């Protein structure tokens, strides 16, 4: 479980990127983090693993506090957080298997990682994970010989090999075609359910988020302005998050149809938070 309390981030430049975010993501739940450019989505994800140092607030992974953790404790906590990136972040000249085993770096002794000698159990796990993500036939291929969808599957397998409690996923489908994007979102949902992982997915594609994620958190100017079911993302809520626009072809109402009768009937118990500043 991920718990965030009163998270604030002010960059040195003076930009207040997060203004008191509260968020709980239970084990097994995948949430979609949406919001306009500059809303603070990447900052939020990076504060969770302290790639960006929060200015105020507290973050917990299970019972362990991430904020304030010593360097050593933070290293251990980061091993429990798998990261999946938009650009995959693979080592191009290494094979699929080597890239996936990189997920164990930090967990194996340094000399083993230098000589790339991983314990047999890690290798067995890597095979099983690659099988799960549909890449068993590609283990010896170099990363640079893979398609975008295959590359993202490697990214997912590498994160899973860490045996994490939490996945932090930054724009996983930004460079993928629509069908591959759906396959990747489906895979993320399935593996998180199977392994009871909490996950935060930073995603721009609202329709895709609605299709595959049950819960959406909408950020605007560093504040959570919506936290509720994806079915509740109607034109009114989208206007709250993104501002005025014709949302009728984007929002899907609770019955799955495009929301062209906006404003739509309220969705089941969405938690509308603070009205966005006008």
Ligand X SMILES: Nc1ncnc2c1ncn2[C@@H]1O[C@H](COP(=O)(O)OP(=O)(O)OP(=O)(O)O)[C@@H](O)[C@H]1O
Question: Least distance to ligand X from the beta carbon of 132, Å?
Answer: 29
Q: Where are the alpha helices (DSSP H) in the chain?
A: 41-48, 71-79, 96-101, 110-114, 120-132, 148-161, 178-195, 206-212, 235-242
Residue closer to ligand X, measured from CB, 37 or 115: 37
Residue 47 C-alpha from the chain's centroid:
13
In the bound state with ligand X, the residue whose beta carbon lies nearer, of 27 and 52, is 52
In whole angstroms, the minimum distance from the beta carbon of 93 to ligand X comes to: 29
Q: How far is the CB of 206 from ligand X (least distance, A)?
A: 13
Residues 6+ apart with CB under 8 A from 114: none
Nearer to ligand X, 54 or 103 (CB): 54
Shortest approach of ligand X to residue 108 CB, angstroms?
32
Give the angle subtended at the CA of 155 by the CAs of 62 and 150, to the nearest 5°: 145
Q: Which is nearer to ligand X, 6 or 119 (CB)?
A: 6
| Among 46, 6, 28, 1, CA closest to 215 | 28
- How many Cα atoms within 13 Å fall on the side-chain side of residue 52? 20
Q: Rule CB under 6 A: which residues touch ligand X?
A: 11, 13, 15, 17, 35, 37-43
CB of 154 to ligand X, least distance (A): 23
Contact yes or no for 231/211 (Cβ under 8 A) = no
**The two structure tokens encoding residue 213:** 């994620």
Residues in the chain: 278
Residue nearer to ligand X on the CB measure, 192 or 241: 241
DSSP of 96-159, one letter per residue?
HHHHHHGGGBTTB-HHHHHTT---HHHHHHHHHHHHHTT-GGGTTSBGGGS-HHHHHHHHHHHH
User: DSSP secondary-structure letter at 185?
Assistant: H
Q: What's the closest the beta carbon of residue 194 comes to ligand X, in angstroms?
A: 28
Identity of the residue, 39 or 197, whose beta carbon is nearer to ligand X in the bound complex? 39
CA 27, 201, 94, 137 torsion-angle sign: positive
CB of 36 to ligand X, least distance (A): 7
Of 52 and 69, CB closest to ligand X = 52
């Amino acid at each position: 479980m991920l718990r965030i309390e009163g998270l604030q981030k002010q960059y040195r430049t003076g930009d207040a990127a997060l203004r008191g975010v509260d968020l709980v993501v239970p084990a097994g739940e995948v949430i979609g983090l949406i919001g306009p450019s500059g809303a603070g989505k990447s900052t939020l994800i990076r504060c969770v693993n302290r790639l960006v140092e929060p200015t105020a607030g507290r973050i917990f992974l299970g019972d362990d506090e991430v904020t304030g953790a010593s360097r050593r404790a933070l290293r251990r906590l980061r091993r429990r957080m798998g990261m999946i990136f938009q650009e995959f972040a693979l080592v191009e000249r290494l094979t699929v298997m080597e890239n996936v085993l990189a997920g164990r770096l930090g967990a194996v002794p340094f000399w083993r990682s230098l000589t790339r000698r991983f314990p047999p159990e890690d290798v067995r796990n890597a095979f099983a994970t690659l099988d799960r993500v549909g890449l068993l036939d590609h283990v010896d291929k170099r990363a640079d010989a893979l398609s975008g969808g295959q590359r993202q599957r490697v990214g997912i397998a590498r994160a899973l090999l860490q045996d994490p409690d939490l996945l932090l996923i930054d724009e996983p489908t930004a460079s993928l075609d629509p069908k591959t994007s759906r396959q990747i979102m489906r895979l993320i949902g399935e593996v998180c359910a199977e392994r009871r992982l909490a996950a935060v997915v930073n995603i721009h594609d609202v329709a895709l988020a609605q299709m595959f994620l049950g819960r959406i958190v909408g950020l605007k100017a560093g504040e959570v302005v919506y936290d509720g079911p994806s079915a509740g993302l109607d034109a009114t809520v989208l206007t709250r998050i993104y501002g005025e626009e014709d949302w009728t072809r984007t929002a899907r109402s609770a019955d799955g149809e495009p929301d062209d009768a906006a404003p739509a009937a309220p969705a089941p118990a969405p938690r509308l938070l603070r009205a966005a500043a006008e």
